[in-house]
Amino acid sequence: MESFAQLLESGRRAGPCRPFPRGEVSAEQWTALAGHLAAGDLVLMGLWGDAGAVHMALLDEAAGRLAVATYACAGGAFPSVARHHPPAARLERTVRDLYGLVPEGAPDDRAWLDHGRWGVRHPLGTPLPAEPAGDTYAFLAAEGEGLHQIPVGPVHAGIIEPGHFRFSCYGEAVVRLEERLGYVHKGIERLVAGADVAQAARLAGRQSGDSTVAYALAFCRAVEAARGVAVPARAHALRGVMAELERLANHLGDIGAICNDAAFALMLAHCGVLREKVLRVSARAFGHRLMMDGVIPGGVAVDLARDGISAIRVLVSEVRAAFPALVELYDNTASLQDRTVGTGFTRPDYVRQFGAGGYVGRASGRPFDARRAFAYPPYDRLPFEVAVRPEGDVNARIWVRIREVEESLGLVVRLLDTLPDGPVATEIPAGPGEGLAVVEGFRGDVLAFVALAADGRVRRAHLRDPSWFQWPLLETAIEGNIVADFPLCNKSFNCSYSGVDL
């Protein structure tokens, strides 16, 4: 762990990035850090490209220290991390697609986001004219007598995001699942570069619409850290209320939707009603059902009025009254339990290796929660439980959500009880800086890196969705299960397509 200590030290001395240090490393140090990742000493929190450099965010989970290593790519290449630590593979492929920086010795040299349809290659690096488009993606082979492939998507029968799943099956049993994503690439990183922070925050809130509060919050916290701005206490509390309402709405929706994938529509109906109530109250209190653009750099866009507070209080008591009966219904329906218990087992060692956050990690015994690990306001002054289950199956992921719904209800009430007075936003003075923030969205930890140019505009921003480290685990969770159980496993992960397709 010497190289990590050196990184922390050099980062602190160089000091461009706040509040977590970022330091330049040599090729040897970079590889040594990759070795620590492979050994499980460090957790990979993100890996992204920049002009002529790659950054890698690393977490020392035991000590709770986060740092960014930067490697200046001489000759447009960098030593592959994925070679030692598989979780970096898709991130490296993305760096290559967007920047043209080559991970040397990478185990997988296929394109990830670039499907050959952009009309340009390496759009963020040195753009090259595109090669003729053709869908010639080589899926990983699975060979043997009686194996057959089932291609699913990217267009699905239900109203979900596009993604392609390639199943290799032996009868009903899944031998291998391979995902292919990138169908909702929006070029957000290109749009954000050069934008002012207000516009960039709006864009950040659209990377994955269902976690718009978490994304905007992560981005704004990074900007505020970069500029050294202290946000008013009331804004912190209101951001907390929004984040917990978002978590509530999504978890309630998920619990119902998972049960519906087992053809138990009753849970979907009742959870759908509760979710709708949360959305309507959010609209009343913050002016938007998903609270999009509610979090802005420097604070929040709208103050919470008195009637908004009482609406939220009524909502909490309504959900508290209705939810226990639904939990009981879930727990007492044997046919439903038969589907969820033991299905889609995610191995705890994989969860630790991939540093998977959110309910995916916590349902397999990894107690990581960014609200606890980084104790950012307002969670620094709030007591709450982090729900952890060891089983790693669909049932455990539902129970983590159930516990988090209950915790979120408590958090919302406590935030409203202790809501400070005062302004809800402060100015962000224009100027350069660099910030990093990690925020707990409903899916898990969203990491935001922002580098501001001298005129205060965004030079480079990268938002890393929690699903980067959850999608690969879905491939492992379905192995050995039957094809017909995939929708259930998939819904219990509920990974973001838009968030990773950037």
Identity of the residue numbered 223: V
Q: How far is the CB of 494 from other proteins (least distance, A)?
A: 14
CB 218 within 8 A of CB 295: no
DSSP string, 74-131: GGGEEE-STTT-GGGHHHHHHHHHHH--EEET-S--S-SS--S-SSEESTTSS-EEPP
Report the distance separating Cα 279 and Cα 86, nearest Å.
38
Distances 246 to 218, 274, 391 between C-alpha atoms, Å = 14, 13, 26
- DSSP secondary structure letter of residue 158: S
Count of residues of this chain found to bind other proteins when the rule CB under 8 A is applied? 32
Q: How far is the CB of 485 from other proteins (least distance, A)?
A: 7
Q: How far is the CB of 394 from other proteins (least distance, A)?
A: 12
Stretch in the footprint of other proteins (CB under 8 A) among 139-147, 153-161, 305-313, 440-448: 153-161
CB closer to other proteins, 322 vs 386: 322
Tokens of 491: 């819904």
Stretch in the footprint of other proteins (CB under 8 A) among 30-38, 81-89, 149-157, 188-196: 149-157
Q: Which one of residues 339, 389, 401, 443 is an interface residue with other proteins (CB under 8 A)?
A: 339
Q: How far is the CB of 261 from other proteins (least distance, A)?
A: 6
DSSP string, 332-380: H-HHHHHHHTTSS---HHHHHHHT--HHHHHTTT----HHHHS--TTGG
Contacts of 461 (CB under 8 A, 6+ apart): 189, 192, 193, 200, 204, 219, 222, 448, 449, 450, 451
Q: Does 269 bind other proteins (CB under 8 A)?
A: yes
Cα-to-chain-centroid distance, residue 465: 3
Q: How far is the CB of 178 from other proteins (least distance, A)?
A: 15
Report the distance separating Cα 470 and Cα 43, nearest Å.
14
Q: How far is the CB of 438 from other proteins (least distance, A)?
A: 34
Closest CA to 501 of 125, 219, 154, 37: 154
Q: How far is the CB of 395 from other proteins (least distance, A)?
A: 13
- The helix (run of H) or strand (run of E) holding residue 148 is strand 147-152
Q: Does 57 bind other proteins (CB under 8 A)?
A: no
Q: How far is the CB of 150 from other proteins (least distance, A)?
A: 4
Closest CA to 207 of 277, 80, 292, 97: 292
CB closer to other proteins, 141 vs 159: 159
CB closer to other proteins, 127 vs 171: 171
Q: How far is the CB of 171 from other proteins (least distance, A)?
A: 8
CB closer to other proteins, 194 vs 487: 487
CB closer to other proteins, 132 vs 158: 158
Q: Which residues ranging from 166 to 195 are in contact with other proteins (CB under 8 A)?
A: 171-172
Q: How far is the CB of 398 from other proteins (least distance, A)?
A: 13
CB closer to other proteins, 136 vs 335: 335
Q: How far is the CB of 489 from other proteins (least distance, A)?
A: 11
CB closer to other proteins, 199 vs 333: 333
Q: Does 341 bind other proteins (CB under 8 A)?
A: no
Stretch in the footprint of other proteins (CB under 8 A) among 72-80, 101-109, 224-232, 336-344: 336-344
Q: Which one of residues 338, 349, 380, 455 is an interface residue with other proteins (CB under 8 A)?
A: 338
Contacts of 219 (CB under 8 A, 6+ apart): 200, 201, 204, 205, 297, 437, 448, 450, 461, 463
CB closer to other proteins, 187 vs 272: 272
Q: Does 274 bind other proteins (CB under 8 A)?
A: no
Q: Which residues ranging from 229 to 268 are in contact with other proteins (CB under 8 A)?
A: 259, 261-266, 268
Contacts of 120 (CB under 8 A, 6+ apart): 127, 128, 129, 130
Tokens of 24: 């330049």
Contacts of 255 (CB under 8 A, 6+ apart): 267, 271, 326, 330, 398, 401, 402, 405
Q: How far is the CB of 18 from other proteins (least distance, A)?
A: 46
CB closer to other proteins, 236 vs 270: 270
Report the distance separating Cα 415 and Cα 237, nearest Å.
6
Q: Does 321 bind other proteins (CB under 8 A)?
A: no
Nearest-10 crossing angle of helices 212-227, 233-261: 150
Please, which residues bridge with residue 449 across strands? 436, 462
CB closer to other proteins, 264 vs 468: 264
Report the distance separating Cα 374 and Cα 446, nearest Å.
12
Q: Which residues ranging from 427 to 486 are in contact with other proteins (CB under 8 A)?
A: 482-486
Q: Does 198 bind other proteins (CB under 8 A)?
A: no
Q: Does 149 bind other proteins (CB under 8 A)?
A: yes
CB 137 within 8 A of CB 110: yes
Binding region for other proteins (CB under 8 A): 148-152, 156-158, 171-172, 259, 261-266, 268-270, 273, 333, 335-336, 338-339, 482-487
